[in-house]
Amino acid sequence: MHDIDLSAVDLNLLVALDVLLAERNVTRAAARLRRTQPATSHALARLRELLGDPLLVRAGRGMVPTPRALAIAEPLARTLADVRRILGEEGAFDAATSARTFRLACPDLLAAFLPELLASMAGTAPNVGLAVRAPDGDTAGALATADLALAPASVEASGLMRKVLGRVTWVVLAREGHPGVGRRLTLARWCAHPHVQVRVTDGGDASFVDRALAAAGVARRVSLHVPSFLVAPEVVARTDHFFTAPRELVAPIARRLGLAMHRPPVAIPPVPVAAYWHERTHADPGHRWFREVVAGVVGEVLGGAGA
């Protein structure tokens, strides 16, 4: 590693790097930085030269961080937060006039509350921005580049703080006229027909549903694994697959697709959902405002149970 003359480093480059690592897209990063795309691309080029690393590399239609970039993301965010406190940027927060952008990491299913969140923010903070992305690692890793993360309340990690927002209960989705339902959905029929399963970080339907089945001494037949809760109901609408998912979050999708919702034939415990944030941002007035808004909206969607 070569020595770097800090007096020659532009602090704005580090701000740009923080946003680039969060967005992983030059166009979106430029919008958040209020710069042109060429200027943001130039900043990325300067950062690559400064650090001697590509930082972000092409992968399909997007960009992914290099191991070096992942290693510096969390300490960079922490350092910039410290600088903001030193300079007084975090000393006060006025939602009505702030143009700050908050970063939220949550699985696509939990993003079902976004319309309500945007409506709530628009009424009190018309210029505040929101950047949402699915976590591509565990919750602690997601918070390296996010202000707030939503995940099952079972997540434990040092340095993280949390607030339980509510809980989800379980329902089985099936198309109308599904041959495995009959007058009621029995355990034997549920296990005999194929299932679509979603795998997500920090616990998806697999860990909770299959744990309940194992306790009952039975197993289901999963014939399709998908990465998204938004894909699974579409599959159910066109096939004889079952999909077991949180009622509070899939009910709007089920109504839109005309899917029937059935009680699971085996007891699946409700799952508490929590908001997580890093302790370094706990006292930030803007962050406090943001997490209170998210907690209010998500708590209402989830009924506030367990909060």
Q: Identify whether 101 is part of a domain.
A: no
Percent of the chain with pLDDT over 70: 91
Say what the pLDDT of residue 204 is: 47
- Token digits of residue 263: 């009680």
The SS3 call for residue 40 is helix
172 pLDDT above the threshold of 90? yes
In this prediction, residues 238-249 reach a mean pLDDT of 93
Q: Are 67 and 56 in contact (CB under 8 A)?
A: no
Closest CA to 298 of 254, 249, 252: 249
Tally of structural domains, the chain: 2
Q: Identify whether 159 is part of a domain.
A: no
307 pLDDT above the threshold of 80? no
Q: Identify whether 143 is part of a domain.
A: no
Is residue 150 very low, low, confident or very high in pLDDT (cuts 50, 70, 90)?
very high
Compute the distance between CA of residue 36 and CA of residue 266 in angstroms, rounded to an integer. 55
Q: What is the pLDDT of residues 268-292, one digit of tens each?
A: 999 899 999 988 888 888 999 999 9
**Bridge partners of residue 246, in order along the sequence:** 170
Q: What is the CATH number of the domain that holds 10?
A: 1.10.10.10
Compute the distance between CA of residue 291 and CA of residue 248 in angstroms, rounded to an integer. 21
Which residue among 41, 71, 89 closes a domain?
A: 89
Summary mean pLDDT of the chain? 86
Q: Are 102 and 130 in contact (CB under 8 A)?
A: yes
In this prediction, residues 85-110 reach a mean pLDDT of 79
Is residue 4 very low, low, confident or very high in pLDDT (cuts 50, 70, 90)?
low
Q: Which amino acid is at 117?
A: L
Q: What is the pLDDT of residues 180-227, one digit of tens each?
A: 898 889 999 999 999 999 876 544 455 788 888 888 898 899 999 988
Which residue among 54, 89, 124 closes a domain?
A: 89
89 pLDDT above the threshold of 60? no
Say what the pLDDT of residue 291 is: 94
Which structural domain range is residue 187 located in? 170-269
Q: Which is more confidently placed, 86 or 99?
A: 99
Please give the DSSP secondary-structure letter assigned to residue 92: -
Is residue 306 very low, low, confident or very high in pLDDT (cuts 50, 70, 90)?
very low
Say what the pLDDT of residue 304 is: 58
Say what the pLDDT of residue 274 is: 93
Say what the pLDDT of residue 203 is: 46
Q: Are 145 and 277 in contact (CB under 8 A)?
A: no
Q: What stretches of 153-268 adopt beta strand conformation (E)?
A: 160-168, 170-175, 194-198, 221-226, 243-246, 259-262
In this prediction, residues 49-53 reach a mean pLDDT of 90
Q: Identify whether 158 is part of a domain.
A: no
HSE-up (13 A, CA, CB side) for residue 255: 5
Q: What is the CATH number of the domain that holds 215?
A: 3.40.190.10
**Three-class SS of the chain:** CCCCCHHHCCHHHHHHHHHHHHHCCHHHHHHHHCCCHHHHHHHHHHHHHHHCCCCEEEECCEEEECHHHHHHHHHHHHHHHHHHHHHCCCCCCCCCCCCCEEEEECCCCHHHHHHHHHHHHHHHCCCCEEEEECCCCCHHHHCCCCCEEEEECCCCCCCEEEEEEEEECEEEEEECCCCCCCCCCCHHHHHHCEEEEECCCCCCHHHHHHHHHHHHCCCCEEEEEECCCCCHHHHHHHCCCEEEEEHHHHHHHHHHHCEEEECCCCCCCCEEEEEEEEHHHCCCHHHHHHHHHHHHHHHHHCCCCCC
Say what the pLDDT of residue 296 is: 92
Q: Identify whether 299 is part of a domain.
A: no
Q: Identify whether 59 is part of a domain.
A: yes
Compute the distance between CA of residue 9 and CA of residue 222 in angstroms, rounded to an integer. 53
- Regarding whether 264 and 174 lie in a shared domain, the answer is yes
Q: Identify whether 14 is part of a domain.
A: yes
Question: How distant is the alpha carbon of residue 258 from its chain centre?
Answer: 27
Say what the pLDDT of residue 43 is: 92
Q: Are 283 and 140 in contact (CB under 8 A)?
A: no
Say what the pLDDT of residue 222 is: 93
Q: Identify whether 259 is part of a domain.
A: yes
Say what the pLDDT of residue 180 is: 87
The SS3 call for residue 200 is coil
Which residue among 26, 56, 89 closes a domain?
A: 89
Q: What is the pTM of this model?
A: 0.69
